[in-house]
Amino acid sequence: MAYQRRYQSDYVFNYWTALGWTVLTCGVFGLYVIYQLVRRMRDHNRRRLDLLEASIAFAWEQAQRRPAVADELRPTFEAMAGNLAVLRQMTSDFRDPAIWTVLVAIGNTIAAVVVLILLDGDLIRHHRAERAVQADLVRVYARLGQSLPSVDPSQVKSPHNYGGRIAAAIFTFTIYMFWWFRDVMDETNRHLAEDWEWEDRLGAAVHALSNPA
C-alpha cells in the first residue's frame, strides 16, 4: 500500500511551469507551490517510513524461517530500527502545509526563507536515515537470496549555504529566491526519482520471496 501511495504523496515539480503560473497569477500560485513543497516532504517521509517498516517486517518473517539466518541478521535489524526512529520522529515535526502557506502569505520573504531552510534540513535528515536503512536492507535481502541496488549511506546531500543564500536574496532584492526555490524543487525531485527506482527493485524482490518457484 505504501508503494502504491507514491503517486499521491510524491509530487514532482516542473520549475518553469510553476514559475510561469506564479508570474501569471501575480504570486498567488506561488502559495500553492509552498503548500506542495511542505506537503510532499511530510507525506513522502510518512510513506517511506511505512514502506521501510513493512519491508523490514517482511524480511524478518522470511529470516525466521531459517533460525541461523535470523540470528546472524538480528544486529542488522536492530540497527535499522534505530534509523527508522529518525524518520518516525520527523512525522511529529511541525509541518502542516496549510499553516506554513498562511505564514508565508503573511510573513512574505522571511517566512519563505524559513520554509526553504526547514525543507533542506528535512531532506538531509530523511535522506541520511533512509539510506542507512536501505543499505542494511540490501544486505538482509541478499542473505535471503534477492539482490537490491547498492546504497552508500555516506552519500547524502550537503546543506545549503544558508547565510550566503540569504545574503544573495537581500542583495538581489529577493530575486535570488526564485533560484533557491528551483534548487529545493529539483533536489527533492531527484530524490524521489532515486527512491522510486529502488522501490521497484524492492517490490520485485518481495514478490520473488512471496512466490518462490
Residue 40 resides in a domain: yes
Residue 134 resides in a domain: yes
pLDDT for res 153 = 87
For the chain, percent of residues with pLDDT exceeding 70: 100
pLDDT for res 154 = 86
Residue 131 resides in a domain: yes
pLDDT for res 213 = 66
Residue 120 resides in a domain: yes
The domain in which residue 151 lies consists of: 12-210
pLDDT for res 5 = 94
CA distance 188 to 83: 20
16-27 confidence digits (pLDDT tens): 999 999 999 999
**Total of domains in the chain:** 1
Residue 2 resides in a domain: no
Q: Helices 176-210 and 15-24 sit at what angle, rounded to 10 degrees? A: 140
CA distance 48 to 46: 6
For residue 8, the tally of other CB atoms under 10 A from its CB is 10
Residue 128 resides in a domain: yes
- Residues (pLDDT < 70) of the chain are 213
pLDDT for res 207 = 93
pLDDT for res 108 = 87
In single-letter form, the type of residue at position 128 comes to R
CA distance 45 to 38: 11
| Cα-based angle 27, 31, 36 (whole degrees, multiple of 5) | 135
How many CA within 13 A on the CB side of residue 200? 5
Burial classification of residue 77, based on how many CB atoms lie within 10 Å of its CB (0-12 exposed, 13-18 middle, 19 or more buried): middle
82-98 confidence digits (pLDDT tens): 999 999 999 999 999 99
For residue 4, the tally of other CB atoms under 10 A from its CB is 9
Q: Are 70 and 64 in contact (CB under 8 A)?
A: yes
For residue 186, the tally of other CB atoms under 10 A from its CB is 12
Greatest extent of the chain over all pairs of C-alpha atoms, in Å: 64
Residue 194 resides in a domain: yes
What does the block give as the cell for 45?
A: 517521509
Burial 120-132 (b: 16+ CB within 10 A, else e): bebbbbbbbbbbb
pLDDT for res 55 = 96
Residue 67 resides in a domain: yes
Closest CA to 55 of 198, 203, 197: 203
